[in-house]
Structure 1
Amino acid sequence: MAFTLPDDLAPELYPLAWLVGTWRGYGILTYGETVPEQAVYQEMTFDHDGGPYLRQTTTIWTVDATRSKNLDFEMPGLQGASLLAPAQIWSTETAYWRPVGQEQPDGAGETAGDADASTSDAESTGGPLTPVTRLELVSADPAGHVGVWEGWIQGPRAQVGTQAVGRARTAVPVEEMTRMFGLVGGDLMWTQDMAAFGRSEVTTYASGRLGRVDDLDDPAAQPGSGLDPVDATEPAKTPESSEPAKTPESSEPASDDAEPTAS
């Protein structure tokens, strides 16, 4: 599907333009004994107001294991989302991406006699090497954390890591976070590693595969659209989401209701 450059996008954001839009899909949360491995539903939106920055909003939900179906983790993001019934919000975050300059990739300025490898790379992609755009980000979440990030984006790939993480007095310590984003087969793939809950080593925490939503009102793009409808004549059940949300900033394990539905 062809991608159209968003209207009124600041020229500084052209290298980030492929991110703009709403993405929905599925993923995995896991963090040792603190967060048992579980499938989750995810939504991520990148938008702008004409200024030289993108706003990213991310929401992750646990899923209702009694209604959701098993996932094949090779399936497209929107297809996977259609098989999940969101239960309760696990985490939310708002971040701002700001490009702060460009540089040529290694080897781009070398002479012909010293740049055989770079020439081969350029030829394999059918053109010159894509410049690297340096990024600065700030993020905040309602669990009491703010982050200052630095990184880069080059073509359909981005990588960022925290330079500092601040927290409110009662927030759980988070020492470091890194994230990678990539466009693969038209889907947005992303991963997050972090050092938190008293751990000093960076460990895998979250991953996701999300599909771009072209029509937000399209029933097929809604979570759980591939599930059997709930029978309104059945007696109402106590919602599994009545328990307090277990956010990734909580030091308590997720509840048994949040066991993974993926095979």
Structure 2
Amino acid sequence: MAHPHDLAPPPIPADTADLTSGPPLHDACRPLRALVGVWRGRGEVDYPTIDGPYRFGQQLTISHDGRPFLRHEARAWLLDADGAVLRPAAWETGWWRPQPDGTLELLLSHCTGIQELFHGEAAEQRWDLTTDSVVRAPTAKDVRAAQRSYALVDDDTLDHTEHRAMVGVEMTPHVAARLHRTR
């Protein structure tokens, strides 16, 4: 039996975060075209129930394989006051699904046992989303709702903010990050 590392890639198109290579971006994904890429930067996380604020680093990869959706993966790590990495933090994966009526769906699964379905719209260089539903594992935090915004400051800078209603607190700012396109 072949070792998994000896296997050839699957016989299907690989996803790409580079619009100059791989399959063409599906027409349905045009409202999200500017998000496709690898973004990395820093931000701050705070909430009334944590002893914050905390600084973090984040990498967001938005890629496609030519079908009418985008793949989303974001990984974060906590930073000390000097910017040194303390430990891994949040990790989420999911899919952006543009709809024919111009609306967007964003499905996210978090390593903390939370799944969220966001619904929203694309405006010029801005994407605003609100949860339609939140599903939690029995051991996950009591998250009831969330709002996210992604906005291009320029071609190579993406601002991301998030508000959350969780653990008995109404909708409150939680995350703000500035990410820069790395490719």
Superposition TM-score tier, normalisation by shorter sequence: 0.7 to 0.9
Supply the distance in 2 between the matched residues of 1:40 and 1:137 (Cα, whole angstroms). 23
Supply the distance in 1 between the matched residues of 2:103 and 2:37 (Cα, whole angstroms). 21
Match of 1:135 in 2: 104
Per residue, is there more helix in 1 or in 2? Answer: 1
Report 1:229-240 matches (<5 A). Answer: none
TM-score (normalised: structure 1)? 0.59
- Pair 1:164-2:133 in alignment: yes
Which is higher, the Rg of structure 1 or of structure 2?
1
| 5+ long unaligned stretches in structure 2 | 1-17
Deviation of 1:32 after TM superposition, in Å, equals 1.4
Deviation of 1:86 after TM superposition, in Å, equals 2.2
The 3-state SS of whatever aligns with 1:31 is: coil
Report 1:50-61 matches (<5 A). Answer: 50-61=66-77
Match of 1:197 in 2: 167
Q: Percent identity?
A: 32
Supply the distance in 2 between the matched residues of 1:85 and 1:9 (Cα, whole angstroms). 37
Provide the aligned C-alpha RMSD in A.
1.7
Supply the distance in 2 between the matched residues of 1:143 and 1:38 (Cα, whole angstroms). 18
Aligned residues of 2:19 and 2:25 also touching (Cα < 8 A): no
| 5+ long unaligned stretches in structure 1 | 69-83, 103-132, 215-263
Supply the distance in 2 between the matched residues of 1:35 and 1:101 (Cα, whole angstroms). 43
Supply the distance in 1 between the matched residues of 2:51 and 2:109 (Cα, whole angstroms). 21
| Paired residue type of 2:32 | L
Task: Give the one of 38, 52, 57 matched to 1:22.
Answer: 38
Deviation >3 Å, runs of 4+: 3-7
Write out per-residue CA displacement over residues 134-171 of structure 1, whole angstroms, 9 at most, x where no aligned residue. Answer: 10121101111111110011221000010110011121
Supply the distance in 2 between the matched residues of 1:209 and 1:10 (Cα, whole angstroms). 27
**CA gap 1:35/1:185 in 2 versus in 1, 3 angstroms:** farther
Deviation of 1:64 after TM superposition, in Å, equals 3.3
| Paired residue type of 2:99 | V
Aligned residues of 2:70 and 2:96 also touching (Cα < 8 A): yes
Supply the distance in 2 between the matched residues of 1:90 and 1:197 (Cα, whole angstroms). 19
Task: Give the one of 148, 170, 177 matched to 2:117.
Answer: 148
Match of 1:100 in 2: 99
Task: Give the one of 36, 47, 55 matched to 1:31.
Answer: 47
Deviation of 1:5 after TM superposition, in Å, equals 6.2
Deviation of 1:35 after TM superposition, in Å, equals 4.4
Supply the distance in 2 between the matched residues of 1:142 and 1:8 (Cα, whole angstroms). 31
Aligned residues of 2:19 and 2:36 also touching (Cα < 8 A): no
- Pair 1:43-2:13 in alignment: no
Supply the distance in 1 between the matched residues of 2:47 and 2:163 (Cα, whole angstroms). 9
Aligned residues of 2:56 and 2:79 also touching (Cα < 8 A): yes
Write out per-residue CA displacement over residues 69-109 of structure 1, whole angstroms, 9 at most, x where no aligned residue. Answer: xxxxxxxxxxxxxxx3322111110121101124xxxxxxx
Supply the distance in 1 between the matched residues of 2:113 and 2:161 (Cα, whole angstroms). 22
Supply the distance in 2 between the matched residues of 1:62 and 1:11 (Cα, whole angstroms). 37
The number of residue pairs the alignment matches comes to 164
Supply the distance in 2 between the matched residues of 1:154 and 1:101 (Cα, whole angstroms). 15
